[in-house]
Amino acid sequence: MVEREAERHPQARLLMQVPGVGPVTALAFVLTLGPVERFRRSKQVVSYLGLNPREHSSGGRQRLGSISKQGNTMLRWLLVEAAQSASRHDAQGRRHYQRLKFRRGMGVAKVALARQLAVRLYWRLRESVSRPTPTAGSHAGSP
């Protein structure tokens, strides 16, 4: 049922082309974000999803903590799962994950990959919106 619904959304179909992203994650991402034009930068999407670090500032010192968890919990979980799956299929993603896992731990590495995946999905949607798709029967030379 989810697969059929995802197939009916052109944006979800576009996101399912990304390794690790299935119909559930693609559909949840599209429906949670809504119109992608409302986000001018990927930083805003990351913040909206709660994948940005908390900040504790006092006396001129800035300390970054764990993620803010302000967004949709289910979508954050789906992005972490999709990022883990994508890292198995992508050599560059696997190297990035292993390096972070060694330096910062497994949890931080998973969230970092989820954030990276969210940014990649956002830009894929943004690029599809900025490039209008030609309609059937239209020609480039038509007035």
| pLDDT tens profile 50-87 | 888 777 778 888 776 677 778 888 999 999 999 988 88
Dihedrals φ, ψ of 139, to 5°? -120, 150
CA distance 103 to 108: 9
CA distance 119 to 125: 10
Helices within 1-143 (DSSP H only): 2-8, 10-15, 23-33, 42-49, 73-89, 91-104, 106-130
**CA of residue 77 relative to chain centroid, distance:** 12
8 near 14, Cβ under 8 Å?
A: no
Burial class (CB in 10 A: 0-12, 13-18, 19+), 102: exposed
**Range in 35-44, 58-67, 118-127 the model is least confident about:** 58-67
Across residues 40-52, what is the average pLDDT? 90
The percent of residues above 90 in pLDDT, for the chain, comes to: 43
Mean pLDDT for all residues in the chain? 85
Confidence label for 135 from pLDDT (cuts 50, 70 and 90): low
Question: Is 90 exceeded by the pLDDT of residue 15?
Answer: yes
For residues 5 and 119, which has the higher predicted lDDT (pLDDT)?
A: 119
67 near 52, Cβ under 8 Å?
A: yes
pLDDT of 3 reads 87
57 near 83, Cβ under 8 Å?
A: no
Confidence label for 96 from pLDDT (cuts 50, 70 and 90): confident
